[in-house]
Structure 1
Amino acid sequence: MIDTQTLFQISKTKKIDQFTVLREILQISFLNYFYKNPESRNVFFKGGTCLKLLYNSNRFSEDLDFSTNQDRKVLGEIISKALDSLKPEFPEIYFKDVASITGVTEKIYLPTEITSQPLTIRLDFSQREEVFFPRQNTISTDLPVLSVSVINYLDEKEILSEKVRAIMTRKRGRDLYDLWFLLNKKVEFDKKLIQKKLDLYRKKYSLESLIERIDTWNEKELIRDVSKFLPKNDRAILQNLKKFLLKELSI
């Protein structure tokens, strides 16, 4: 496992805590071994961590989210094999099932010297989703971790559509930040694709409803939810994130 001095230096350079740096190293390493397995060909990486690792978002993330048609048994085997490959570097790593009604959820645990609580990474596999725009690439990183496997993942406009759906159906400030990031990149805002994603929840899309949802978001909760995932130098934007996001949506 990475030594504490190296971890400290990376944390200092990136202006984020050591726990978050170590989590990203573990995320990348896990994905590398996960996608080495040919059974992963129908598992598509998505969500906030995908934006961070494959689209260069500056927001760190806790979870790994996927869409797949693989069954629970096969997914468990892929995860188990990936963790076996990680054990030489992370001997105490393990995972547990988490109850879920919408797919398969697992949680990886890694005891560390950084805190008394283990580092955790939640793995969420949605088995209800159709993937419309798959992509493939490797993860490029400046962290001291090997990443050579080809990753199957969602195109950014499909992630944007799922982020809009997330904003319409739950309350997580990080979804607002991710949507702003994608709109700021001028990613296509595909209304038909957004509606396809909302059909799963039997909801209708309208720009007015989305704007109202964002406009009434509690700003303190937004800042509290997102700030810990951003480098210190990037947190100032959160004070005006709602304003910037609403401006992007009104163009």
Structure 2
Amino acid sequence: MTKGALNLQIHKQILTAILLDIFKKFNGKLGFKGGTCAYLFYNLPRASLDLDFDILTSLTESEKDNLRTVLQKHGEIKNFRDKQFTLFFLLDYQKNSPNIKIELNKRIWKNNEYNSIWFLGVEMKIVDKATMLTNKMVALSNRKQPVARDIFDVYYFLKVGFPINEKLIKERTGKNLKDYLNFLLSFIEKNYTPKNVLQGLGEVLDQKQKDWVKKELVSETIKELEKLIK
């Protein structure tokens, strides 16, 4: 993802500008989600480099072209894929800076919930707290390879008291909440260690955070999940 040094302030400004332009054109069609949504609106204590959306109403070919035009205002589209479940753009906004992935998910879970908010004068839909946490929990155990930011985000959301959407857990995993939590605990214990828990997180955390993550993140996340089972 990163092809050069990361200036977080500039990157955040670019992400925000793209986000605003997208919702000026597509409000009502999209729901904002993912790490950057959590960073901007739910105080997630790590930076995020990409933009993730749910497509709430199908986009026409003309609307896809309009989206491409919006993104081209901010840089060069290096890659575009219209896949079965995803629209994907890779945007190069500045030489020697990270590319930005813009991913739009076509497969929407019926138990996702969204809130309408105003941000810098623009109305947009964002996933609510329970949807944010629940989908992140499922992502944690669903990926082909463990992703450290998933466990970091789950820990934070649990620690600050985000609720869990039990219907969404059932819809996505087929398990009730208790069974899924037990499965997730086992998955974390098998797949996350101090050796891999910083992979992909290093450039979005400061040194103090990195030290804590390496020593404490796995055990503290397990403690938070165990509280929910008791």
The question of 1:212 aligning with 2:186 is answered yes
Aligned partner letter, 2:126: Y
Residues 81 and 40 of structure 1: is their aligned pair in 2 closer, same or farther, counting only changes over 3 Å?
farther
Matches within 5 A, 1:164-175: 164-170=137-143, 171-175=146-150
Q: What is residue 94 of structure 1 aligned with on the other side? A: 76
Counterpart of 1:97, as a letter, is F
Structure 1 segment 218-233 matched on structure 2, within 5 A: 218-233=193-208
CA–CA distance in 2 between the matches of 1:23 and 1:98?
23
Q: Give secondary structure in 1 for the equivalent of 2:38.
A: helix
After superposition, where does 1:9-48 map in structure 2 within 5 Å?
A: 18-37=6-25, 39-48=26-35
> How far 1:167 moved relative to its partner?
1.1
Q: Which string of whole-angstrom CA distances, capped at 9 and with x for unpartnered residues, describes residues 55-79 of structure 1?
A: 1111111221111132362552342
Structure 2 residue 39 is matched with structure 1 residue 66: no
Is 1:108 matched with 2:82?
A: no
| Cα deviation, residue 20, structure 1 | 2.8
Instruction: Name which of structure 1's ranges 130-139 and 151-160 shifts more when overlaid on structure 2.
Output: 130-139
2:217 aligned residue (237, 241, 247): 241
TM-score, normalised by the number of residues in structure 1? 0.77
The residue identity in structure 1 corresponding to 2:76 is Y
Q: Which amino acid letter does the alignment assign opposite residue 140 of structure 2?
A: I
Q: Which runs of 5+ in 1 are unaligned?
A: 1-16, 140-146
Tell me the CA shift for residue 225 of structure 1: 2.2
Aligned counterparts, 1:141-220, within 5 A: 147-170=120-143, 171-198=146-173, 206-216=180-190, 217-220=192-195
Show structure 2 runs of 5+ residues with no match.
none
Structure 1 residue 205: Cα displacement: 5.5
- Is 1:134 the counterpart of 2:134? The answer is no
Root-mean-square deviation (Å)? 2.2
AA in 1 matched with 2:122? S
CA distance change for structure 1 residues 235 and 75 in 2, over 3 Å: closer, same or farther?
Answer: farther
| Length, aligned pairs only | 213
CA distance in 1, matches of 2:31, 2:202: 27
| TM-fit CA distance, 1:152 | 1.1
Aligned pair in 2 of structure 1 residues 237, 220: CA closer, same or farther (>3 Å)?
A: same
Distance 1:198 1:72 in 2: 31
Deviation string 1:178-224 (CA, Å, 9 cap, x unpaired) is 1011101111123322122335xxxx952211001111223322113
Residues 119 and 18 of structure 1: is their aligned pair in 2 closer, same or farther, counting only changes over 3 Å?
closer
Once residues 76 and 110 of structure 1 are traced to their aligned partners in structure 2, the CA distance between those partners, rounded to angstroms, is 20
Kindly indicate whether the alpha-carbon contact (under 8 Å) linking 2:193 and 2:218 is maintained by their aligned counterparts in 1. Answer: no
Contact 1:46/1:67, CA 8 A, preserved across alignment:
yes
Counterpart of 1:153, as a letter, is: I
Residues 225 and 247 (structure 1), Cα distance of their counterparts in 2 relative to 1, 3 Å cut:
same
Moved over 6 A (4+): none
Higher relative CO (Cα under 8 Å, sequence separation at least 6) belongs to 1
Asked whether the equivalents of residues 134 and 168 of structure 2 are also in contact (C-alpha less than 8 Å), the reply is yes
